[in-house]
Chains A and B, each alone.
Chain A
Amino acid sequence: MASPVNGSTPAPTPLSSPEIRPFDAAALERDLRGMWRTASPSHATVYRAALANLIVPLSPSDFERIGPVLIDVTRRHPARLFRVGQTESGTAGGGLRSYATALCHLRAGGGLICTEEIVLSWDDASGPLVPSAVASLLVGDLPAVLLELNQGLDPEWQEKLAGIADVRIIDSSLAPSAAEYPSLWGCRPGRAGGPLHDLAWARLAPWREILAETFDRPEAARAISSIQDVAIHHLGAEPPSGAWLLAGWLASRLGWTPRGLAGRHIRLDGPARPASVSFVEDEEDASGNRAAGGPASRAIVRVRIRSGAPAPLDVAVEHRGHAPTARVVLLAPRAKERDVPYAYRELAACIVGELHRHEPNRAFEEAARAAEKMIALWRKG
Chain B
Amino acid sequence: MSADAAARGGAGAIAGAIAANPLREGSVTLDAADPCTVVVFGAGGDLTRRKLLPALLTLSREKLLHSKSAVVGFARRPMDDAAFREEIRASAAERGTADHDWRRFASSVFYRTGTFENTADYVALRGFLESLERDRGTPGNRIYYLATPPASYAAILAGLGASGLVHPHALGTPWSRVIVEKPFGHDLASARALNVQFYGSFDEAQIFRIDHYLGKESVQNILVLRLGNGIFEPLWNNRYVEHVQVAVAGAVGVEGRANYYEPAGALRDMLQNHMLQLLTLTAMEPPSRFEADAVRDEKVKVLRAMAPLTVRQAAERTVRGQYLAGAVAGTPAVGYREEPGVAPDSSTETYIAARLEVDNWRWAGVPFYLRSGKRLPKRATEIAITFRHPPYSLFRSAGCQPIESNVLRLRIQPDEGISLSFGSKSPGQVLHIDPVRMDFNYLTSFGADPPEAYERLLLDCNLGDSTLFARRDEVELAWEHADATAAGWASGAGPALGGYAAGRWGPPEADALVARDGRRWLRL
Q: Chain A interface (Cβ within 8 Å of chain B)? A: 47-51, 74-78, 107-109, 113, 115, 205, 208-209, 211-212, 215-218, 221, 224, 249-250, 253-255, 324-325, 341, 343, 362-364
**B63 contacts A by Cβ under 8 Å:** yes
Among B66, B441, B446, the most chain A Cβ lie within 10 Å of the Cβ of B446
Produce 1/0 per residue, B441-480, CB < 8 A to A: 1011111110000000000000000000000000000000
CA distance A57 to B444 in the complex (A): 26
Partner of B20, one of A108, A221, A343: A221
- Interface range on chain B (Cβ under 8 Å from partner): 20 to 34
Q: A48-B444, A209-B28 are in contact. Are A253 and B23 (CB under 8 A)?
A: yes
Q: A75-B447, A217-B14 are in contact. Are A362 and B21 (CB under 8 A)?
A: no
B107 to chain A, nearest CB (A): 14
Contact sample, A vs B, 19 pairs, CB 8 Å cutoff:
A47-B444, A49-B444, A50-B444, A76-B447, A76-B448, A78-B445, A115-B447, A205-B28, A208-B28, A209-B29, A215-B21, A215-B23, A216-B17, A221-B21, A253-B22, A253-B23, A341-B67, A363-B25, A363-B27
A338 to chain B, nearest CB (A): 9
Cβ-closest 10 pairs across A and B: A49-B447, A363-B27, A78-B447, A212-B23, A47-B443, A363-B26, A218-B17, A253-B22, A212-B28, A113-B447
CA distance A147 to B102 in the complex (A): 34
**B227 contacts A by Cβ under 8 Å:** no
Partner of B22, one of A50, A78, A209, A224: A224
CA distance A24 to B443 in the complex (A): 30
Among B14, B27, B95, B96, the most chain A Cβ lie within 10 Å of the Cβ of B27
CA distance A363 to B25 in the complex (A): 8
**B254 contacts A by Cβ under 8 Å:** no
Query: Is the beta-carbon distance between B23 and A108 smaller than 8 angstroms?
Result: no
Partner of A212, one of B21, B95, B444, B446: B21
Query: Is the beta-carbon distance between B21 and A51 smaller than 8 angstroms?
Result: no
Chain A residues with CB under 8 A of B23: 208, 211-212, 215, 224, 250, 253-254
CA distance A218 to B16 in the complex (A): 9
CA distance A211 to B22 in the complex (A): 11
Chain B residues with CB under 8 A of A218: 14, 16-17
Query: Is the beta-carbon distance between A108 and B21 smaller than 8 angstroms?
Result: no
**B18 contacts A by Cβ under 8 Å:** yes
Q: A48-B444, A209-B28 are in contact. Are A108 and B449 (CB under 8 A)?
A: yes
CA distance A216 to B21 in the complex (A): 6
B402 to chain A, nearest CB (A): 31
Query: Is the beta-carbon distance between A253 and B25 smaller than 8 angstroms?
Result: yes
**B520 contacts A by Cβ under 8 Å:** no
CA distance A325 to B23 in the complex (A): 20
Query: Is the beta-carbon distance between A212 and B443 smaller than 8 angstroms?
Result: no
| Nearest-neighbor residue (CB-CB) of A111 within chain B | B443
Query: Is the beta-carbon distance between A107 and B443 smaller than 8 angstroms?
Result: yes
| Nearest-neighbor residue (CB-CB) of B28 within chain A | A212
CA distance A343 to B26 in the complex (A): 18
Chain A residues with CB under 8 A of B21: 212, 215-216, 221, 224
CA distance A211 to B24 in the complex (A): 9
Query: Is the beta-carbon distance between A212 and B26 smaller than 8 angstroms?
Result: no
CA distance A51 to B447 in the complex (A): 9
CA distance A115 to B444 in the complex (A): 9
A326 to chain B, nearest CB (A): 13
Query: Is the beta-carbon distance between A47 and B27 smaller than 8 angstroms?
Result: no
CA distance A53 to B217 in the complex (A): 25
Query: Is the beta-carbon distance between A341 and B447 smaller than 8 angstroms?
Result: no
Chain B residues with CB under 8 A of A215: 21, 23
Chain B residues with CB under 8 A of A254: 22-23
CA distance A324 to B23 in the complex (A): 22
Chain B residues with CB under 8 A of A49: 443-447
| Nearest-neighbor residue (CB-CB) of B414 within chain A | A109
B44 to chain A, nearest CB (A): 26
Chain B residues with CB under 8 A of A50: 444-445
B216 to chain A, nearest CB (A): 15
Chain B residues with CB under 8 A of A48: 444
Produce 1/0 per residue, B1-44, CB < 8 A to A: 00000000000001011101111111111000000000000000
